[in-house]
């Protein structure tokens, strides 16, 4: 975008900070900052301090590495959840997405990323060791790999599979296939191919 001549250094600085956020350009950043300028001082203090406080005080569950206000997160601390089934995800956003489906009642393990040599992220940068230790020590029945279907996701899946296959636990991945509501015509061929290869019994769908 064209050069903006700021009437104030403070304004320019605040806009530059907002423009660092993903998906926020300089024009949007300016609009957001000017909006905040029109808000009462207390509201702006609340806004700024809420994010600083979050960053300073956030804890990760010492068992599953999900974000938590307590040492052990609500999911891991819930005795009604199935502690023999672990769903391995990339980030806490995925935990929230799966929780919203209300279809999963086991516990999670948040890797904090996926193996991505291009970005310099190797297995040691992720919470893989604690996962292996947990599977080894807690007689886990099933590990569900729920990572993205990207090259990095597949690499990580394979790495985890190699590390975990020596244990008792069954290793599964979430089903890939045509989205509900999607027309076959518009589904990409890899997804469609997989959905045919991994077809399920019709009466299995009726139960769901």
Of the candidate residues 80, 100, 162, 199, the single one contacting a second copy (CB under 8 A): 100
Q: What's the closest the beta carbon of residue 112 comes to a second copy, in angstroms?
A: 9
Residue with smaller CB distance to a second copy, 108 or 164:
108
Tell me how far apart the alpha carbons of residues 6 and 20 are, in angstroms, rounded to a whole number.
Answer: 17
Residue 11 binds a second copy, judged by CB under 8 A? yes
Q: Which helix (H) or strand (E) element contains residue 193?
A: helix 189-197
Tell me how far apart the alpha carbons of residues 130 and 127 are, in angstroms, rounded to a whole number.
Answer: 6
Residue with smaller CB distance to a second copy, 21 or 196:
21
Instruction: Give the alpha-carbon dihedral of 78, 126, 113, 117, to 10 degrees.
Output: -160
Q: What's the closest the beta carbon of residue 100 comes to a second copy, in angstroms?
A: 6
Residue with smaller CB distance to a second copy, 73 or 164:
73
Q: Which residues of 176-192 are buried (b: 16+ CB within 10 A; e: fewer)?
A: ebbeeeeeeeeeeeeeb
Distances from the Cα of 78 to the Cα of 92, 101, 105, 112, angstroms:
17, 18, 10, 22
Tell me how far apart the alpha carbons of residues 40 and 91 are, in angstroms, rounded to a whole number.
Answer: 35
Residue 127 binds a second copy, judged by CB under 8 A? no
Residue with smaller CB distance to a second copy, 87 or 164:
87
Residue with smaller CB distance to a second copy, 10 or 151:
10
Report residue 93: phi and psi, to 5°. Answer: -65, -35
Residue 51 binds a second copy, judged by CB under 8 A? yes
Contacting range for a second copy; rule: CB under 8 A; set: 27-35, 81-89, 119-127, 153-161: 27-35
Query: Could you list the residues that contact a second copy (CB under 8 A)?
Result: 2-11, 13-14, 17-18, 20-24, 28, 30-37, 39, 41, 43-58, 66-69, 73-75, 91-93, 95-96, 99-100
């Amino acid at each position: 975008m064209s050069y903006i001549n700021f009437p104030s250094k403070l304004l320019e600085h605040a806009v530059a900070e907002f423009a660092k956020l993903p998906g926020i350009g300089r024009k949007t950043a300016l609009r957001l900052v000017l909006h905040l300028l029109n808000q009462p001082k207390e509201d702006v203090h609340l806004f700024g301090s809420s994010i600083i406080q979050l960053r300073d005080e956030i804890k990760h569950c010492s068992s599953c590495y999900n974000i938590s206000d307590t040492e052990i997160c609500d999911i891991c601390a819930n005795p009604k959840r199935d502690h023999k089934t672990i769903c391995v995800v990339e980030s806490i956003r995925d935990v929230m997405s799966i929780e919203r489906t209300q279809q999963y009642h086991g516990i999670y393990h948040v890797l904090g990323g996926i193996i991505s040599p291009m970005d310099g992220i190797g297995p040691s940068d992720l919470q893989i060791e604690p996962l292996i230790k947990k599977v080894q020590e807690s007689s886990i029945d099933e590990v569900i790999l729920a990572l993205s279907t990207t090259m990095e996701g597949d690499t990580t899946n394979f790495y985890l599979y190699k590390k975990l296959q020596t244990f008792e636990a069954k290793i599964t991945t979430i089903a890939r296939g045509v989205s509900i509501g999607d027309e076959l015509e518009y589904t990409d061929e890899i997804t469609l191919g997989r959905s045919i290869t991994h077809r399920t019994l019709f009466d299995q769908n009726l139960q769901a």
